[in-house]
A and B are shown apart, each in its own frame.
Chain A
Amino acid sequence: MSENLIEVRGLTTRFGSHTVHDGLDLDLRRGEILGVVGGSGTGKSVLLRAIVGLIRPAAGQIRVLGQDVSDLTPLAREALERRWGVMFQDGALFSALTVQENVEVPLQAVPDLDPRQRAGLAQLKVAMAGLPWHANDKYPAELSGGMKKRAGLARALALDPEIVFLDEPTAGLDPIGADAFDRLIVGLRDALNLSVFLVTHDLDTLHACCDRVAVLAEGKVLTSGTMAEMLDVDHPWVREYFHGPRARAASAGKG
């Protein structure tokens, strides 16, 4: 079960003269939830964007599901994009469409799918993301932050992807909402056999969900491993992150 779905090797990304990643290596294994943490500005979201091809890296290789993402024909790229789903920080829902229509957008790629079936599937995904029935007909502007994230997740899951990228799924949620979202992610992973690439700041989420944690610092993955292993790492930033007062509270809460 240790097949790597994502393999990042020697990734270097730059914005002008500012180097964000400098020879970064990272793996995502099948069926795991990988938490990517790091201080502000260490390029967590940039890494996510580089993997899904929104940013072209300056150097290095990114292989997703066995294919090099920087070297794909448009057709192959389209096929690959259907095998992953991305949830952006605020859901990035199309504001002109209702929640149900948003979830139907990826489903429109399926040829010959009956509109009734498309609607039914979209409603199923909305329900699986934990939204009530009446959310289907709401516009993104009418939703709370947590509901937007759930709707974004429903859209990311529309085509049953193998990999889901989540950018700060619990940021800005109250503890109860964040906790529910953590459980939702784990539940969906178990039910749909997902592999999850999760960028977060939330120590509770790391404790609750993640099988492995990768710490980004100094342009590299400083260390990666289970939460228990993280506690033994001897690096000032990592120690402060995982042993700080918030970390203690989070680990106490999860026992």
Chain B
Amino acid sequence: MADAMKDLDREHHLTLALDGETLRLSGAFSVWTLPLLPDPSTVRTIRCDHLTRFDTAAAWYLAQGMTHGMSIEGLTAMQQGLLDTVTASLPKPEAGADVGTIWRRLALTTGQHVLRAGIFLREIAEYLGRFLVALLRAIRHPSDFRLTSFVHHCQETGLRAVPIVTLMSFLIGIVLAFQGAVQLRQFGAEVFVVDLIAISILRELGILLTAIIVAGRTASALTAAIGSMKMREEIDAMRTLGMDPDMVLILPRVLALVVTLPILGLIANVAGLAGGALMTWFELGVSPSMFRYRLVTETDVSNVIVGLAKAPVFALVIGIIGCHAGMKVGKDAESLGAQTSTAVVNAIFAVIVMDALFSIFFAEVGL
């Protein structure tokens, strides 16, 4: 191996000798020895005798020198041939597009982002419309509806999410009870912890956290599934076979979400209350029957209605965003990954925005 390394050294060895205005080179004139050479515009004459190696990098150096009036001596015919090839294919820079000042570019990118956001909202509206049209079609022609697919997606997005949703909500109930107990004990108002848990879980947290978990689970799954079909042109194939992707792909998936998310929300409510009841029992000695009594007498049922009324809307938002992102996947794997993470972020963000809008709405109508 030592021999190989010595070979390598010799191969990368170039001797330069300045003789008046002439630069004499011998040895390996290649990309590896290019850094040794002076700027090609400063060399008047170059003599290349006994070169052991002459590659395109060397020819490129000489070609650049020639444009500054360098004269070259001592090349063999083969080296001259390479030099001619390189000279002929020297890239000619094209005038790039005028990018303008930093302010102009700033305004330009800002405008592009606004425009893109506008297009995104328009497309989301379009997909919502396509879903509704598909739904109406399924109601008018029930035989067009893919029941098997629908049941499968109910299982995927609903049933399989039950354990994680239950556990998460149960833990949130425990946290609320514990924190509430610590604060309310200062006023001797421990028993109000039941109201605190009931209202916050039933009205907000149960359904919001469920929707966020489902957004993370299902929006990414929707985008990945539809996106990989889009990538392999399966969706185009479907169209040519007379199958409507809206009916086959979007309707069963989104409808499954709309049906299962309220159920998941209800499960989350029950689990959250159970966690809260357990913790108040241990921490404050409020027995489960006392908890139940206060829950029924003091907490208005409107809280449950307000909470669960949001679920189908959240489901719609998550499903539409997931399907839209899947349809936007291009031909390369990279766009699939990018769209999947965008779908999750957008879905969670949209769920929280919708929740805020609901809060304002319900406050205005006095529920």
Contact = CB atoms under 8 A, between A and B. Distances in A.
A121 interface: yes
Given A124-B89, A127-B89, A133 B4 contact: no
Interface string B319-340: 0000000000011101100000
Contacts of A113: 31, 34-35
B334 A75 contact: no
B310 to A, nearest CB: 39
Interface residues of B, number: 30
Which of A67, A72, A127, A191 lies at the interface centre, i.e. has the most chain B CB atoms within 10 A of its CB? A191
Interface residues of A, number: 33
Interface in A129-176: 133-134, 136, 141, 157, 159-160
Contact of A76 (B5, B60, B85, B91): B5
Interface in A58-85: 67, 72-73, 75-76, 79
A124 B56 contact: yes
Contacts of B141: none
B140 interface: no
B90 A124 contact: yes
A76 B8 CA distance: 9
B32 A191 contact: no
B104 interface: no
Nearest to A158: B31
A157 B60 CA distance: 14
Interface in B40-59: 55-57
A141 B330 contact: yes
A123 interface: yes
A75 B31 contact: no
Interface string B330-367: 11101100000000000000000000000000000000
Contacts of A79: 4-5, 8
B78 A128 contact: no
Interface of B: 1, 4-5, 8, 30-32, 34-35, 55-57, 60, 64, 78, 81-82, 85-86, 89-94, 330-332, 334-335
Given A127-B89, A191-B85, 11 more contacts: A73-B1, A112-B35, A113-B35, A114-B35, A117-B34, A121-B57, A124-B60, A136-B91, A141-B331, A141-B332, A157-B56
